[in-house]
Each structure stands twice: as C-alpha cells, then as structure tokens.
Amino acid sequence: MHETPPVPRRRRTRREQRRRRRTRRRRITWTVTSVVIVIGGATTYAITGSDSGESSASARAKAPSPSAASARAKAGEAPADAPKPSPSPTSTQKPFDLGPALEPVTDLFGDNRMSVAVLDVESGAMATYGRDAFDTASIVKVDILAALLLQAQDQGRRLSTQERTQSAAMIQKSDNESTSALWTRIGSASGLDAANERLGLIQTQGGSGTVWGITQTTAEDQIRLLQSVFGDKSPLSEASRAYIQDLMLHVVGSQTWGVSAAADAGTTALKNGWLKRTQTKKWDVNSIGRIQHEGRVYLMAVLLNGCSTQEVGINIVERASRASATAFSRELGEKSTT
C-alpha cells in the first residue's frame, strides 16, 4: 500500500509571520485583562458581602452595575450601599479642645473619668473633652419624658393628668418612683431606644430591666438631646418642647447646682443626676442644660464618675462648667475678631 506523499507547505513570507505574532499577542493580552477584571469584580463583591453580613453570592446579586454606579456618581448621589453619615450636634468645623482649659480640674480627681460637651447655639460651634460613655443617673429623666411625649404625639393625645403629675415630679424633684412608672409606660429600654433613634441620639443605650439610671450615654449625645428639646428642628412638637423646657426651668432649689455655675445672672434650664454605685461605693455626678454665659447661649453637658462623695462630684462638675464656658467664650470671641 502506497502512502500519498505529503503536500509541501508553502513557506510564509516574513510579513505574514509578523502579522500572526501580533495577532497572537493581542489574544493573550485580552485573555489576561479579562481575568483581572473578573477577579477584581469578585474581590469587590466579596468585601461588600462581608461588610454587610451577607454571603458573596447575595452581595453580587445586589451589587449595582458599573453603568448605574457611574450614573449616580455623575448625578452627585452616593452609592446605594454607602453608609449614612451619623447625625452630629455640631457644624462641620472641628470641635474646640477643652483639654488645656480643664487641666486644673482634671488634676483634682485621679482615677475619675469626665466628659464635657458645649454647643454655641448661635454659631453651631462645639467644644469637647473626652468621648467615653457614662451612666446617666437621673439626667435620663429628660430623655424619658421626651420619649413619653413622642409616643403621645404619635397617638394624637395629650398627657393624662397622672402622666403630667409624674413628669413634673420626675424633672423638678427628680422623683424616682414617678420615673420608674414612666419608664415602664414608655416600654423601658426598647421604648427609650426607639425614641432616641428619632431624636438623633446615636451613643445612648437604655438601662437593663427596671434600672433606668444605668442607661449609657455620652456628653455629645446629651447635646443632641438638648437640641431636640431647645431647638426648632426636632421631632418633638412645639408644645412638647415648651413643656420640657418649663419643667427644666423650675427644678427645686436644692437641685440647681451643676452647669448653672457657669451661667450669668438669669434663668438656667437644667437637669442633674447623681448615683452611688453599689459595688464601688463611688458616685456618678452629671449635669445637663441650657445656660447663658457672657451674652452667648450654650447647651452644656458634664458627665463624671468615680467620685468619693456626691459633694466632691458637684464641686468638680461646677468647676468644669465654669472653665469650659470661659475658655470656649474666649475662643469664640477671638475668632469673631479675626
């Protein structure tokens, strides 16, 4: 059996060889690029899924297409999965640091912790010291009343006679029995937390069970609460705000200490809190309110714990209030003249 002789292959010209090599390189380049795009996309979606607590497959299904994302970017919109900014009691400017002004005060209390926040109502400027969370003690009573009033607004009703009596005793006399009754009425911690979400408080968590006094908060969150009580932009109605303000303006004389020490002659709206911890035997002493100082209106919160006695705590809170208001007023005055 004879084999058919092979057909001789035509020799390619040099031009054809160069053309084939270029085509092969383009094909390789496209393949590598395609792999990088797929891997990059998968990595991005996997990170998104991890951040949101979802599986990678779920995140890929929800991920916006590049064209949709580009369209939103051109329109100036944030991506659908971008985190929402936290509400802030301050303007966009950096808060003034009260640390140097408070050194003579902080030198007094050793292991104590303190946090201070002051807001200038007119300019929105803020001054702060410390960012820790603290027991509220009785300053939570303002928050409880705000929650009660929000719920009454939702129900389209006024407070009952009993609720008004308990509210007045809770704020003006710091009556604990009335507070416990209203704490239960609003739904305890869950009711407080729901109200605080509407009021813009992002660093406050209601106390466990019936122990409303160990609700955790920060000085800056207390400024947010005071803004809801004394400011116009608030989920609280005008009537609700006026009611809380009036009670805070008329606390009993024995409870007018605290941030009022920094106020000029005139009226101060405030609520104080004090609590002796069972295990440590140390005192939490707090004060929040609206004051006038050197012609300016301030919202102020001073939180302190670890005090040996209530009297020592009150003294430190008042010294911190005066030092903070004086330093902040000086800072604002210097800025206004430059």
* Residue 109 shares a structural domain with residue 249: yes
**Residue 73 confidence (pLDDT):** 30
In a domain, 190, yes or no: yes
One domain, residues 37 and 114? no
pLDDT band at 119 (very low <50, low <70, confident <90, very high): very high
Strand duo 126-129 + 113-120: pairing:
antiparallel
pLDDT of residue 16: 56
Q: Greater confidence, 21 or 53?
A: 21
Strand pairing report for 96-97 and 126-129: parallel
1 in any annotated domain: no
Dist CA 33 CA 25 (whole Å): 12
Say if residue 137 is in the same domain as residue 66: no
Please determine, for residue 37, whether its predicted confidence score (pLDDT) is greater than 90.
no
Q: What percent of the chain has pLDDT over 70?
A: 72
Range from 10-24, 55-69, 88-102 carrying the lowest mean pLDDT? 55-69
Question: 8 lies in a domain?
Answer: no
Residue type, 239: A
Q: Are residues 134 and 25 both part of a single domain?
A: no
Say what the pLDDT of residue 108 is. 76
For range 207-212, the mean pLDDT:
96
Looking at 25, 44, 74, the residue that finishes a domain is 74
What pLDDT digit, counting tens, does each position of 122-136 carry?
A: 999 999 999 999 999
Mean pLDDT of the chain: 80
Measured distance CA(82)–CA(80) in Å, rounded = 6
The yes-or-no verdict on residue 238 having pLDDT over 70 is yes
Domain limits for position 57: 14-74
Domain count for the chain, please give it.
2
> Does residue 302 contact residue 320 with C-beta atoms inside 8 Å?
yes
List the CATH number of the domain containing 316.
3.40.710.10
**Exposure class string for 163-195: b at 16+ Cβ within 10 A, else e:** beebbbbbbbebbeebbbebbebbebbebbbbb
Please indicate whether residue 227 or residue 59 has the higher confidence score (pLDDT). 227
Residues 20 and 118 in one domain: no
Same domain assignment for residues 58 and 108: no
325 and 187 share one domain: yes
